Amino acid sequence: MTAPLIELKNVTKRFGNHTVLDRLNLTVFEGDITTIIGKSGGGKSVLLKHIIGLLRPDEGDILINNKRFKEMTRKEQTQFKRQTSYMFQNNALFDSLTVFENIALPLREKTRMREDAIKSKVMAKIDQMELSHEVIHKYPSQISGGMQKRVALARALITEPKIIFFDEPTTGLDPLRKNAVLGMISHYQKKIGFTALLVSHDIPDVFFISNRVAIIDNGRIIFQGKPIELEQSENPVVHDFIRGQINLKDDLTGLNTKQEVMDLLNQEMDRANRLQANFPVIMFTIDNMTQINKHVGYITAQRIVQCLSTLLKEHFGAAGTSARFSQNEILMVLPHTDIKEAEKDLNELAVDLQKQEIFQAKSYPKACLSFSVSAGLSETKQGTDTDSLIGQALSNQKIIAHVECIKQGETA
Amino acid sequence: MKKYSMETTVGIFVFIGLLCVGYLTVKLGKMELIGGDNYTLYARFDSVSGLRPDSSVEIAGVEIGRIGKISLDSERYMALVMLKIRKGIQITDDAIASVKTSGMIGDKFIKITPGGSDSILEPGGTIVETESAVDLEELISEYIFGGM
Amino acid sequence: MQTGTDYMAQATNAVIAPFNWLGGLFVAFIRELGAIAIFFTHAFCLIFSLPLQVNKTIQQIFFIGAKSILIILLVGLFTGMVLGLQGYYTLVKFGSEGVLGAAVALSLIRELGPVMTAIMIIARAGSSMAAEIGIMRISEQIDALDTMDINPIRFLVSPRIVASLISFPLLTAIFNVIGIIGGYLSGVCLLGINSGIYFYRIESNVLMQDISGGFVKSLVFGIIVSTICCYQGYFTHMRPGGFGAKGVSLATTSAVVLSCVLVLIVDYVLTSFLL
């Protein structure tokens, strides 16, 4: 693991008599996506504003590259500031400037780039964010909330910063766009390699893209570590917190939450062990998610996930309980069926899935892309644990639906 | 284009504004654009009461210059008035400078009555013969006795 | 004994309380003025930081100056016409309606031009300056500038101060000229004063001193109006008792009131120095 990039030590901040941050400790590592979750009004935004220097702590230290922020020279502080970008909760787009001017502003003000160079750079970012070219001369108040978010993201990315702070990047978006924005952040983080610090309460969607999670409660960090560590955490406060915050259904897919499914799986495996009755699990994976993102957009990618989950519910109904396992994986537990029946259902599902419009190559006339959905069955046996069960399901995966790249002109 | 029209408007605004500033300063404020079109003469008066700097200097009712500084000649206890006369207008050394009033209670100005001498006053020279400001009382008595 | 000292303390409190209140008010006022002065110095120094913000300044001149021309023309014309009428009926009593031109021009150039122009610009541009910057503050746009390492004072306030310094004298000059024309309309065209006398009186009575004094006033007013309106907007979030839209509305109101009052007070002080 790399050295900590940002470290907060015993940071305290009070507004009047109200203590917002109470001797808070947090570490952010370089190249990670770190997510801070917590109740609203719990001081998440205040925490971010401390790191970028908009607010100063009453007590405690903020260390950047092991150097105290308040002891840094003005030049060093400026240099740090230039490497960062901040995406505000309500976007904070300049409403008297057009979309183009908004994105170009950091370049125009802080670099000596020529106007045509700025223009081509901004247009490239606009294309990347899938904003249409008609939008660029509109004002922020004339475009939809989702577009505003993308414009804000474009403005944050345009300076190619090393660290980006996201203050609730998905608030106020519908589930499809929410996941699209998160996908976008994760995609660019992998591509450009910046360090990201997110503040969010979109659990569990945000876990899929985070390397580290920190929970803030009553002004203190009660947990920080990997998402997997969080799920396995024995700390009752943390457990309760996650239970309280998590939605009962996944917004995007309408599936159950991962926690629920894992609980069910554990419970059923116990029962199966006792009664010697085995049951199957199926693991679905959408391959080539990055290519989908790249060629046809983040929203389409999320639509595929949505489509798959709708069909799952249709075909398996009450027999199966399924949940998003990660960004492109869905785990399904079928406690009261046997493997034969599951295989039959799976085959029917495959036929149906291939018929969907979204799996037709001609739905993507402009792009040449291939992607597929794989599914893998595995059955519980005496003494297996969940990890090996899932591992086996993954290794059994076969492609059940796919889209092949078609060259233009061949089919038409 | 929008940008073009904004800059044009600003240009028109600044132009009109400067025109007005020009009118005020040059025409009304009598700002000397180039300082060199005047020369200076001096004149001593017993009294210049009511005369103000920048009042006009006239010959035969035509303005030929303006009054500059008014100071006290502390040796003779007389008023020393600086006259800024337009170049090209020659004043002879026997000209008479008198403080006059325009109208009954109007402004004071200096009237120069040209003389007949051949010698012209050089810049910085002094007009010797002067008539001081007329007293209002004196004026009224003259009016009453039909002297006007 | 206990009650005796209590009574004494209460009596002392009652005497001290009004002084306390007055002192608190005064200290707060001085502190506010000091903060505004620092704010202005900051913004003024940043005017000269390179690269110069020519485009933004032109935009602001467009907004503060060019867009105010019509209202200034209208107000100036009617001010001049009213001065002509009032002046005529006052002067005709003394039989000296001939000096009407001088009366109109001097009152315009020395007093009404700079003051009326300042008040019109406060109403038109000052209020919107405060509101615009206030909204930028509450919607975190100023914080956003800060995170982009763009100095918000340089970006928002400095161009407005420069634009005010350019626009105020120009608008004042336009106001004066149109006012003199207004006086001409009512004095000469309506009431029949000789037009030659009208202009002759203006030319002979208006001194350079009057005109430069008027311009000094308008420059000072430009600084006052732009600084106060920007200051009120910039620190919208610091206002006690008003958040969000309410805060912006309070900031706008106090920007307009405070700058109007200060313009009139400073006008008095300047006049007493200039005369």
Among the partner-chain residues A81, A92, A105, the one whose CB lies closest to the CB of C140 is: A92
Confidence category of residue C149, pLDDT binned at 50, 70, 90: confident
How many angstroms separate the CA atoms of B148 and C100, rounded? Answer: 28
Position C75 scores a pLDDT of 93
In A202-302, which ranges are E strands?
A: 212-217, 220-225, 280-286
- How do strand A371-379 and strand A398-403 relate by DSSP bridges? antiparallel
- Half-sphere exposure of residue C99, counting CA atoms within 13 Å on the CB side? 18
How many angstroms separate the CA atoms of C162 and C184, rounded? Answer: 34
Tens of pLDDT, residue by residue over A53-67, are: 778 888 888 888 777
Of A1, A44, A23, give the one whose Cα is nearest residue A206. A44
Please answer whether residues C114 and C217 qualify as being in contact, where contact means their C-beta atoms are separated by less than 8 angstroms: yes
Nearest CA in chain C to A86: C147
Does the CA dihedral A175-A177-A182-A187 come out positive or negative?
positive
Position C169 scores a pLDDT of 92
Collect all residues with Cβ–Cβ distance below 8 Å to C166 and sequence separation of at least 6.
B14, C57, C61, C65
Q: Which residue has the higher pLDDT, C264 or A315?
A: C264
Position A366 scores a pLDDT of 67
Confidence category of residue B104, pLDDT binned at 50, 70, 90: low
Position A85 scores a pLDDT of 84
DSSP string of C147-202, one letter each residue: HTT--HIIIIIHHHHHHHHHHHHHHHHHHHHHHHHHHHIIIIIIT---HHHHHHHH
Mean pLDDT of chain A: 77
Residue B30 Cα, gap to closest chain C Cα (Å):
7
> Which residue spans of chain A are classified as CATH 3.40.50.300?
4-245
At CA A358, angle to CA A354 and CA A361, rounded to 5? 80
Claim to verify: residue B77 and residue B134 sit in the same structural domain: yes
- Tell me how crowded residue C166 is: count the other CB atoms within 10 A of its CB: 22
Above 70 in pLDDT, residue C264? yes
Q: What is the mean pLDDT of residues C231-254?
A: 82
Position C178 scores a pLDDT of 92
Top-tier CATH class for A4-245: alpha beta
Q: What is the mean pLDDT of residues C56-67?
A: 86
Per CB distance under 8 Å, which residues of B are interface residues toward C?
6-7, 9-10, 12-14, 16-18, 20-21, 23-25, 27-31, 54-56, 103, 105, 107
Residue C127 Cα, gap to closest chain B Cα (Å):
21
Above 90 in pLDDT, residue C21? no
Above 50 in pLDDT, residue A410? no
Tens of pLDDT, residue by residue over A1-30, are: 567 788 888 888 887 777 777 888 888 888
User: C interface mutation test: which of A102, A109, A168 has the most C CBs within 10 A?
Assistant: A109
Claim to verify: residue C156 and residue C71 sit in the same structural domain: yes
Residue A322 Cα, gap to closest chain C Cα (Å):
41
CATH superfamily name and code, A258-403: Reverse transcriptase/Diguanylate cyclase domain (3.30.70.270)
CB contact under 8 A, C170 and B20: yes
Share of chain A above pLDDT 70, in %: 88
Please, which chains are in contact with B (at least 3 CB pairs closer than 8 A)?
C
Please answer whether residues A182 and A208 qualify as being in contact, where contact means their C-beta atoms are separated by less than 8 angstroms: yes
CB contact under 8 A, C150 and A109: yes
Per CB distance under 8 Å, which residues of A are interface residues toward C?
49, 52, 54, 78, 81-82, 84-86, 88-90, 92-96, 105-106, 109-110, 159
> Which residue spans of chain A are classified as CATH 3.30.70.270?
258-403
Confidence category of residue B1, pLDDT binned at 50, 70, 90: very low
Beta bridge partners of residue B62, listed in sequence order: B59
C160 chain-A contacts, CB cut-off 8 A:
none
User: C interface mutation test: which of B4, B9, B20, B52 has the most C CBs within 10 A?
Assistant: B20
CB contact under 8 A, B14 and C170: yes
Q: How many helices (H) and strands (E) does chain C have?
A: 12, 0
Counted residue by residue, chain A has a size of: 412
- How do strand A33-38 and strand A18-29 relate by DSSP bridges? unpaired
At CA A196, angle to CA A193 and CA A200, rounded to 5? 145
Confidence category of residue C79, pLDDT binned at 50, 70, 90: very high
ipTM of the complex: 0.72
- Half-sphere exposure of residue B75, counting CA atoms within 13 Å on the CB side? 2
Position B134 scores a pLDDT of 66
* Lateral strand order in the sheet of A212-217: A84-87, A163-167, A195-200, A33-38, A212-217, A220-225
C112 chain-B contacts, CB cut-off 8 A:
none
Claim to verify: residue B39 and residue B27 sit in the same structural domain: no
Position B105 scores a pLDDT of 57
Distances (CA, A) of B143 to B50, B110, B137, B140, B148: 20, 21, 10, 5, 6
Claim to verify: residue C86 and residue C208 sit in the same structural domain: yes
Position C3 scores a pLDDT of 67
Among the partner-chain residues C132, C144, C149, the one whose CB lies closest to the CB of A92 is: C144
Q: Which domain holds residue B73?
A: 35-144
Confidence category of residue B142, pLDDT binned at 50, 70, 90: confident
Of C207, C178, C172, C205, give the one whose Cα is nearest residue C84. C178
How many angstroms separate the CA atoms of A76 and A60, rounded? Answer: 20
Claim to verify: residue B47 and residue B89 sit in the same structural domain: yes
Tens of pLDDT, residue by residue over A369-385, are: 777 788 887 877 766 77
Q: Which domain holds residue C65?
A: 54-274
Number of domains in chain B: 2
CB contact under 8 A, C143 and A49: yes
CB contact under 8 A, A81 and C149: yes
Tokens, residue A94:
């300049």
Tokens, residue C37:
């002065």
How many angstroms separate the CA atoms of C209 and B30, rounded? Answer: 10
Please answer whether residues A250 and A260 qualify as being in contact, where contact means their C-beta atoms are separated by less than 8 angstroms: no
Alpha carbon of residue A343 to chain centroid: 32
Tokens, residue A383:
């003494």
A105 chain-C contacts, CB cut-off 8 A:
148, 150
Please, which chains are in contact with A (at least 3 CB pairs closer than 8 A)?
C
Q: Among the listed ranges A96-105, A361-370, C23-32, C163-172, which one has the minimum average pLDDT value? A: A361-370
Position A157 scores a pLDDT of 83
Claim to verify: residue B98 and residue B114 sit in the same structural domain: yes
Residue C43 Cα, gap to closest chain A Cα (Å):
17
Position A356 scores a pLDDT of 76
Beta bridge partners of residue B44, listed in sequence order: B80
Among the partner-chain residues A82, A90, A159, the one whose CB lies closest to the CB of C139 is: A90
Q: What is the mean pLDDT of residues A206-221?
A: 79
Above 80 in pLDDT, residue C174? yes
DSSP string of C122-140, one letter each residue: IIIIIHHHHHHHHHHHHTT
Claim to verify: residue B51 and residue B26 sit in the same structural domain: no
Residue A110 Cα, gap to closest chain C Cα (Å):
7
Mean pLDDT of chain C: 86
Position C225 scores a pLDDT of 92
Position C223 scores a pLDDT of 92
Q: Among the listed ranges B27-36, C98-107, C177-186, C189-198, which one has the minimum average pLDDT value? A: B27-36
Q: Which residue has the higher pLDDT, A335 or C184?
A: C184
- Which of C10, C27, C45 is the last residue before a domain boundary? C45
Of A55, A16, A296, give the one whose Cα is nearest residue A167. A55
Q: Which amino acid is at C235?
A: F
Q: Looking at A246-297, list the stretches that DSSP marks H as alpha helix, in order from N- to C-terminal side.
A: 258-275, 289-296
- Tell me how crowded residue B27 is: count the other CB atoms within 10 A of its CB: 13
Tens of pLDDT, residue by residue over A222-272, are: 778 777 777 677 777 777 776 666 555 566 666 776 777 777 777 777 777
How many angstroms separate the CA atoms of A321 and C108, rounded? Answer: 85
Claim to verify: residue B130 and residue B72 sit in the same structural domain: yes
- The 3-state secondary structure of A338-381 reads CHHHHHHHHHHHHHHHHHCHHHCHHHCCCCCCCEEEEEEEEECC
Among the partner-chain residues C139, C146, C155, the one whose CB lies closest to the CB of A54 is: C146
Confidence category of residue C77, pLDDT binned at 50, 70, 90: very high
3-state DSSP call for residue A248? coil
Please answer whether residues B96 and B58 qualify as being in contact, where contact means their C-beta atoms are separated by less than 8 angstroms: no
Claim to verify: residue C77 and residue C211 sit in the same structural domain: yes
Q: What is the mean pLDDT of residues A264-292?
A: 77
Beta bridge partners of residue A200, listed in sequence order: A37
A·C CB contacts under 8 A: 45
Above 90 in pLDDT, residue C115? yes
- The 3-state secondary structure of A385-400 reads CHHHHHHHHHHCCEEE
Counted residue by residue, chain B has a size of: 148
Nearest CA in chain C to A92: C141
Tens of pLDDT, residue by residue over B39-77, are: 888 888 888 777 777 777 888 888 888 888 888 888 888
Tens of pLDDT, residue by residue over A85-122, are: 888 878 788 888 888 888 888 888 777 778 888 888 88
Phi, psi of C230 (to 5 degrees): -65, -40
Number of domains in chain C: 2
DSSP string of A50-74, one letter each residue: HHTTSS--SEEEEEETTEEGGGS-H
How many angstroms separate the CA atoms of A401 and C269, rounded? Answer: 85
